Structure 1
Amino acid sequence: MHNLDLFAEPESTPINVIDYDGLVEYHGLLIPAQEANQYFDALLQKIEWQSDQANIFGKQILTKRKVAWYGDKPFSYTYSNSTKMALPWIDELVTLKGIVEDKTGTKFNSCLLNLYHTGEEGMAWHSDGEKDLLKNGAIGSLSFGAERKFSFKHKRTQKTLSVSLQHGSLLVMKGETQSHWLHRLPPTKKVDSPRVNLTFRTIDEDRGNLDNC
């Protein structure tokens, strides 16, 4: 496994995390520490967190990890055989969305948030290729709280690599990344504090997945 040695200071030029079959850019620290602390506290308090549902060996279970789904409209989003309806943006999400859009030059219309209470909560290998999402659309991943390792594995070659996502940092997955790479948040006993992750996404409205259409 390749681990990237990333600088603690903000990067003017993003680091390309993967070698081929897609593009993953790590922009480093996007939100200054004091502001990141404020956003972290606000998100913990104001987001309508709910336990996620996962299908494991044919059984639906509730995860310790909490999730929330927000968007421009009441978009439906289905993954792991569970469908969620987007809630209206709160002010902090609108501001953060604008910051990520300015940095990446990409417009997003939705955001899936995850709350991991400790390092023992993680995410298994998967790719974000659900039919609701714009094909090959960018996903902007903004992290707050505990620094966690984020891993990638190529679907064909099985090559793996990892990057540490810092408090206030931005990672962007784009192009054919979801078609060729899996990613996960490995659990660890070395982290005992929470992490909040925001993944700004683009729902493909042409697929007619709005409940009010």
Structure 2
Amino acid sequence: MDLFADDTSLTPIPLEDGELWFQQRLALDLAPDEVMRRLLAETDWRHEQIHVWGKWHAQPRLSAWHGEASYRYSGKTFHPQPFTALQRHLRQAVELATGRRFNSVLLNYYRDERDSMGFHADDEPELGPEPAIASLSFGAPRTFILKHRSRSHTLKLALGDGSLLLMAGTLQRHWVHGINKERTPRGPRINLTFRLIA
């Protein structure tokens, strides 16, 4: 099922086994293209290696970890860089829209249609049993895919420039999510996933 929304407030998307909320355009006092330009220039992007199925692989995207706590996933511990002024500004807007608190952010830079994110759940112990993950996107739209772990349910959502997605409740326990490579040419995209690390 493909889902598209045109609202300007965070709205729930009906979903079994978890909570999913979507806002087409987060209210910001900066234009999305200005945010994109600054994120590209102000972030120390890294091409990280991760451990998957017993082997080390280069991630098919660039990334950066900022905030107040270290984070471990895919066999590697990521030590944070401090929040930038822009990241703090975006975090405040996300916290206002979601009513949640966040102390860390993972930034992913998808350079073109060849960059992707494998299917996974954000279920690391330091996120807690029912983590809230707020995903903020800038740049070219990409299709975000959710697959249920035990049922033949799939959801697809177009994450466009300035969109906000909130995953919460038991969603990470029952669903995996990812971004596939695409055949159609795509421009650059930056995604920020805000988290609360215990």
Moved more, 58-67 or 118-127: 58-67
Moved more, 40-49 or 134-143: 134-143
- Tell me if 1:12 matches 2:9: yes
Q: Partners of 1:34 and 1:76 in 2: how far apart?
A: 29
**TM-score, structure 2 normalization:** 0.94
Question: Is the 1:36–1:144 Cα contact (8 Å) retained in structure 2?
Answer: yes
Residue 209 of structure 1 corresponds to none
Residue 40 of structure 1 corresponds to 36
Moved more, 27-36 or 175-184: 27-36
Give the Å deviation of 1:120: 1.3
Residue 146 of structure 2 corresponds to 152
1:47–1:13 CA distance, 2 compared to 1 (3 A): closer
Residue 63 of structure 1 corresponds to 59
Aligned 1:1-213 pairs, distance under 5 A: 2-7=1-6, 10-16=7-13, 18-31=14-27, 35-71=31-67, 73=68, 75-204=69-198
Structure 2 counterpart SS, 1:98: helix
What per-residue deviation string (whole Å, max 9, x for no partner) do you get for residues 25-79 of structure 1? 01111146961111100000101110122224422122241110011x2x22111
Structure 2, unpaired ranges of 5+: none
Structure 2 counterpart SS, 1:121: coil
Aligned length: 198
Moved more, 127-136 or 95-104: 127-136
Residue type at the aligned position of 1:12: S
Q: Partners of 1:152 and 1:33 in 2: how far apart?
A: 30
Structure 1 counterpart SS, 2:63: strand
What per-residue deviation string (whole Å, max 9, x for no partner) do you get for residues 124-182 of structure 1? 11100011213212111000001000000111103111000010010000000000001
Q: Partners of 2:147 and 2:153 in 1: how far apart?
A: 5
Structure 2 counterpart SS, 1:94: helix
1:64–1:122 CA distance, 2 compared to 1 (3 A): closer
Q: Partners of 1:36 and 1:80 in 2: how far apart?
A: 31
Question: Is the 1:100–1:140 Cα contact (8 Å) retained in structure 2?
Answer: yes
Q: Partners of 1:48 and 1:31 in 2: how far apart?
A: 26
Q: Partners of 1:151 and 1:34 in 2: how far apart?
A: 28
Structure 1 counterpart SS, 2:197: coil
